[in-house]
């Protein structure tokens, strides 16, 4: 059935969903309205890393909802401090500021960097260096420094104060630093760009560069954090600690939007009462769910599970030989299957996987993203990977010239 058959005229067309109508989820499974079960290989972009309807998360949600949900930050509550204290312990940082969505956490980091640059460093017009190919959200400030034309088209004028450098290129970032630079803001692994893993030593090099130049290193771990890359945080692969990190997605346990900016005290101290806030950010219900999500990850050893299953997934993907596969990238339980546009369009692969009972999504027409919940069984992971290989193998000959050229253009535009 084509996607048009599912469309409701009252739903804005800012998404183009794949043709499946979901109604229920449990663990690593999803069911459609006709009762068919699917293996979830997407985890809602890591928001459901703990699996759908995790019983401990649902219990914490229900218990807290009965007690106190949204009291307003105009008052103290007995959940928020416990939640943020745990976040600080895990990250090795000092202070946390809660928000709702990942984009809000990034906006908070941007505001902190600008005020820190202005008030601490005395920069009249603080600038932030970002990476080409970045994805930090879709607010008007964030798309101002996006290199993806689809996110920017028609939404100007754009916010100044950002410079871009090539992701993974330490020399390019060093050259971009100026007297006006307050911070560097990057993803340790670029998710929306196609699970792009930087060269070993790049993050450590950025940490050294920031220390030498007296600027902040801010990392966006909304997608890569909380176990997705096989460690609690992707920055731990290089044994560094940033000046600030943004978290979200899995922090909400798959049931609520929960995010936070966590930073060193000198960075967070630029905020004063009234300078920043959110009606729902840090509400008691979100704090209770966020705290339980962190405890579930710890108690069920989900980071270790991501590391082990991720190694298996990447090993299997790298042994696949369909001619349509151009490159396999990934870290932890997170992979991008780059396709040769002469052979296949990633969305077509994802549609084919629906028929085999596997759900995932495409990025920029040429990348199939794989990021299952950490609770997926080894057998189900193998079944899903078999389906991936079988589906891609069907595309064993180059497409028509026009179709292949369109696919290549889409990838270059990304």
pLDDT tens per residue across span 197-224: 999 999 999 999 999 999 999 999 999 9
Q: Is 249 a catalytic residue?
A: yes
Burial class (CB in 10 A: 0-12, 13-18, 19+), 314: buried
List the chain domain ranges. Answer: 3-53+301-413, 55-299
Residue 264 to residues 31, 96, 191, 232, 261: CA-CA distances in angstroms? 43, 9, 25, 18, 10
Statement: residue 47 has pLDDT above 60: yes
- Residue 75 in contact with residue 84, Cβ under 8 Å? no
The pLDDT of residue 325 is 97
Q: pTM of this prediction?
A: 0.95
Statement: residue 18 has pLDDT above 50: yes
Residue 298 to residues 48, 60, 226: CA-CA distances in angstroms? 16, 16, 10
Statement: residue 87 has pLDDT above 50: yes
What is the spatial distance between Cα 54 and Cα 363, in angstroms, rounded to a whole number?
28
The pLDDT confidence band at residue 143, using thresholds 50, 70 and 90, is very high
Q: Catalytic pick from 173, 249, 261, 380?
A: 249
Q: Are strands 358-359 and 181-186 parallel, antiparallel or unpaired?
A: unpaired
User: Which structure tokens are listed for 107?
Assistant: 């906006």
pLDDT tens per residue across span 301-326: 999 999 999 999 999 999 999 999 99
Fold for domain 3-53+301-413?
A: 3.90.1150
What percent of the chain has pLDDT above 70?
95
Closest by CA to 113, choosing from 134, 99, 128, is 128
The pLDDT of residue 339 is 97
The pLDDT confidence band at residue 3, using thresholds 50, 70 and 90, is low
Sign of CA dihedral 368, 196, 374, 222: negative
Q: Catalytic pick from 40, 77, 220, 243?
A: 220
Q: Catalytic pick from 40, 77, 83, 135?
A: 135
Greater confidence, 278 or 365? 278
The pLDDT of residue 2 is 58
The pLDDT of residue 235 is 98
Q: 55-299, which class in CATH? A: alpha beta
- Residue 275 in contact with residue 290, Cβ under 8 Å? no
């Amino acid at each position: 059935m084509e996607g048009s058959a599912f469309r409701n005229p009252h739903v804005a067309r800012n998404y183009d969903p794949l043709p499946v109508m979901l109604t229920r989820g449990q663990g690593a499974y999803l069911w459609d309205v006709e009762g068919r079960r699917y293996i979830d290989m997407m985890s809602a972009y890591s928001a459901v890393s703990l699996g759908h309807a995790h019983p401990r998360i649902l219990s914490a949600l229900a218990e807290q909802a009965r007690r106190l949900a949204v009291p307003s930050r105009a008052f103290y509550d007995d959940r928020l401090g416990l939640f943020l204290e745990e976040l600080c312990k895990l990250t090795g940082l000092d202070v946390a500021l809660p928000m709702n969505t990942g984009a809000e956490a990034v906006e908070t980091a941007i505001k902190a960097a600008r005020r820190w640059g202005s008030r601490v460093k005395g920069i009249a017009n603080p600038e932030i260096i970002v990476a080409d190919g970045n994805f930090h959200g879709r607010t008007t400030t964030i798309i101002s420094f996006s290199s993806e034309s689809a996110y920017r088209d028609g939404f100007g004028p754009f916010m100044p104060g950002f410079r871009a450098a090539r992701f993974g290129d330490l020399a390019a970032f060093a050259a971009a630093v100026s007297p006006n630079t307050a911070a560097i803001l990057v993803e340790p692994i670029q998710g929306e760009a196609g699970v792009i893993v930087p060269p070993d030593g790049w993050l450590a090099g950025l940490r050294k560069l920031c220390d030498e130049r007296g600027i902040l290193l801010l990392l966006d771990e909304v997608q890569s954090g909380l176990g997705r890359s096989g460690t609690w945080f992707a920055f731990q692969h290089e044994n560094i600690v940033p000046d600030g990190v943004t978290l979200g997605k899995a922090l909400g346990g798959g049931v609520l939007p929960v995010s936070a900016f966590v930073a060193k005290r000198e960075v967070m101290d630029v905020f004063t009462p009234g300078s920043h806030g959110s009606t729902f950010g840090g509400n008691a219900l979100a704090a209770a769910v966020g705290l339980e999500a962190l405890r579930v990850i710890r108690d069920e050893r989900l980071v270790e599970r991501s590391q082990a299953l991720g190694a298996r997934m990447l090993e299997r993907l790298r042994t696949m030989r369909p001619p349509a596969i151009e490159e396999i990238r990934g870290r932890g339980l997170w992979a991008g299957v780059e396709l040769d546009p002469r052979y296949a369009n990633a969305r077509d692969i994802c549609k084919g996987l629906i028929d085999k009972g596997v759900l995932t999504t495409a990025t920029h027409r040429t990348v199939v993203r794989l990021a299952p919940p950490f609770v997926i069984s080894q057998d189900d992971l193998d079944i899903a990977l078999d389906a991936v290989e079988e589906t891609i193998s069907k595309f064993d000959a180059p497409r028509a010239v026009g179709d292949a050229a369109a696919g290549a253009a889409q990838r270059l535009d990304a």
